[in-house]
Structure 1
Amino acid sequence: MTALFELLRPELQMVHLRLERETRLQKQGLPAVTMPVLNPLDEDFLPALVLLSAHTQGYSGSRALSLAAVFQFIFLASLMHSDVKDEVAVQTLVGDYFYARFLDLLCRDGNLQFLVPLSRLICQIHLDAAGRHEKSVSADGSHLREYLATMATYLGSQLGKVEPQKVEAWKEIGMFLGKLWNGQPVKVKAGQAIEKLAPKAVKDLLVELVFHLSEKLPAKQVMAL
């Protein structure tokens, strides 16, 4: 795994513990449904983007941890909604439960200011899914990861010192990292976006992440970089 994830490991573990605690209702687990199986990258990617963008803007605290959990809830809910098969009703309801958890976290942990952009994000995700369903396009054609990564860095950076230029820079970085996470060959453009940031240490962490994501692209796409 990349140095970024290792650097943030203590906080990422706190986010995972928070997710586990928040998904238990009245001391009982969720219904027996097929939960999305996430690889280490998918488990850490969005929380890490929220935390890094917040820290770089000068914020370290509970709101960043909570916002990181919020994005992972939205990711899980969206995956569950896109993978309904035999247990359609239960699977969909559990996905809705994850959405409800993210709303609860926003209300409880001081991030209610992000309700409007996150609500719009979810609308965008569902409209995209509906369009793909209508055209019989597979889930591989989804922009889910791009949408989420863009908003993760955009909102995470607003937890600290709100400098419009830096916030927009983080939004652009999130977009290109999301495209890479989604399998699109945008390594050069991602590097150019990262160059707009000031702290060299942060640039180095992000560049390593770009190379890590690029290595996971299909061979033909890597050759096109």
Structure 2
Amino acid sequence: MQIQDVFSRYGAELKRVEEEMEFHLRSEVAIIPEIVTHLLGSGGKRFRPLLLLISADLFGYQGRRCHTLSAVLEFIHTASLFHDDVIDKAESRRGKVSANNIWGNAAVVLVGDFLYSKAYQLMAEDGSMEIMHLISTTSNVMSEGEVFQLIKCGEVNLTEEDYLKIIEKKTAILISAACALGGYLGGAEVHQIEALKQFGLRLGSAFQMTDDTLDYVAREEDFGKVIGKDLNEGKMTLPLIYTLKRCTPEERKFIETALAERRTREMPAGDILTLISRYDGITDALNQAETLIDEGRTFLAGLPEGPAKEALFAVSEFVLNRDL
């Protein structure tokens, strides 16, 4: 099964997720849906809802709760993007002017808060304490990841361990929750839900690793964000971490100076990319992502066979090969 087959299989359900989100974004304060739609309507493959739908299908569930809880995931994810863009002073998001550059930081932060509260309102209406506990824990971990990344921003001595902690808390944990939610909805056994969590955790970490690598090598029109954005913001990602461990003292000093002066001088991104390529930073980061995907797939071994399981394998393959 290819990723196109996956989207074809779940296309109708994803359309219902879109309708569910649109319904719950209605507000008498017109600027709220206007700001949210600016981001939600600018692309994105609804990766987290897709994983929820597949995981629920794995255990034979297809129903309204899938759509509502998928909206919960997208609202939490979108809120985190809004807050990210304010913190990073982002100028663009998914190829468009970022919301904070149009409506200002205050409005965007408050709309992010609206999305968080709407997500919790929908979970309360769903009524499952297991799901409420899973998502509230997930949101708390994501917030920890945001703070941890903030204090580590521009730190050239960031370890690979710290980097993995950041991406697990910021990105992988919500993807893990998406997989687990599908299991809950399908009535999966505890060990099966745990297997989905572990698969999602590794899939999510690999997703962020490939995203960070695309920041150096993708075409901007394919990637949907400014190439070199992470570098300009002083974010230490795996290709750069590997390079700093392997390069000469003179080359390391060059990179350190560029990062320290990034707010006052143009970042020599081309020269740094040359160093990253010389020391196999990109290749080894992608190899690490592949290792995580392989680990994640082992957790699928005891889960029900069929098209849904094939779809999970196809999604994991897509994560490794998207737009490279």
Instruction: Confirm or deny a common fold (TM above 0.5).
Output: yes
Farther-moved stretch of structure 1 (180-189 vs 57-66) = 180-189
Measured in 2, the distance between the counterparts of 1:29 and 1:43 equals 24
Measured in 1, the distance between the counterparts of 2:294 and 2:182 equals 24
Residues 60-106 of structure 1: CA deviation (Å, up to 9, x unaligned): 21112111111111100111111103622211101101001111211
Alignment match of 2:193 (pick from 167, 178, 193): 167
Farther-moved stretch of structure 1 (194-203 vs 52-61) = 194-203
State whether structure 2 residue 293 is matched by structure 1 residue 187. yes
Measured in 2, the distance between the counterparts of 1:15 and 1:171 equals 22
Over 3 Å counting, the alpha-carbon distance change for 1:112 and 1:26 in structure 2 is: farther
State whether structure 2 residue 119 is matched by structure 1 residue 102. yes
Farther-moved stretch of structure 1 (28-37 vs 15-24) = 28-37
Measured in 2, the distance between the counterparts of 1:165 and 1:105 equals 27
Over 3 Å counting, the alpha-carbon distance change for 1:192 and 1:46 in structure 2 is: same
Is the 2:57–2:308 contact (alpha carbons within 8 Å) kept by the matching residues of 1? no
Farther-moved stretch of structure 1 (14-23 vs 110-119) = 110-119
Over 3 Å counting, the alpha-carbon distance change for 1:55 and 1:110 in structure 2 is: farther
Which position in structure 1 is the counterpart of 2:65?
63
TM-score by length of 1: 0.84
State whether structure 2 residue 209 is matched by structure 1 residue 207. no
Over 3 Å counting, the alpha-carbon distance change for 1:151 and 1:135 in structure 2 is: same
Farther-moved stretch of structure 1 (138-147 vs 176-185) = 138-147
| Aligned residue type for 1:189 | E
State whether structure 2 residue 232 is matched by structure 1 residue 126. no
| Aligned residue type for 1:155 | L
Which position in structure 1 is the counterpart of 2:174?
148
Q: Spell out the pairing of 1:17-32 with structure 2 (5 A cutoff).
A: 17-26=19-28, 28-30=30-32
Farther-moved stretch of structure 1 (106-115 vs 169-178) = 106-115
Which position in structure 2 is the counterpart of 1:46?
48
Residues 138-166 of structure 1: CA deviation (Å, up to 9, x unaligned): 99954322111101111220112231221
| Aligned residue type for 2:302 | K
SS in 2 for 1:43: coil
Farther-moved stretch of structure 1 (95-104 vs 133-142) = 133-142
Measured in 2, the distance between the counterparts of 1:164 and 1:174 equals 15
Which position in structure 2 is the counterpart of 1:12?
14
| Aligned residue type for 1:69 | A
Aligned residues: 217
Higher Cα Rg, which structure: 2
TM-score by length of 2: 0.60
Measured in 2, the distance between the counterparts of 1:8 and 1:191 equals 21
Is the 1:151–1:174 contact (alpha carbons within 8 Å) kept by the matching residues of 2? yes
Measured in 2, the distance between the counterparts of 1:134 and 1:145 equals 17
RMSD: 2.7
Measured in 2, the distance between the counterparts of 1:46 and 1:176 equals 14
| Aligned residue type for 1:164 | V
Measured in 1, the distance between the counterparts of 2:15 and 2:72 equals 15
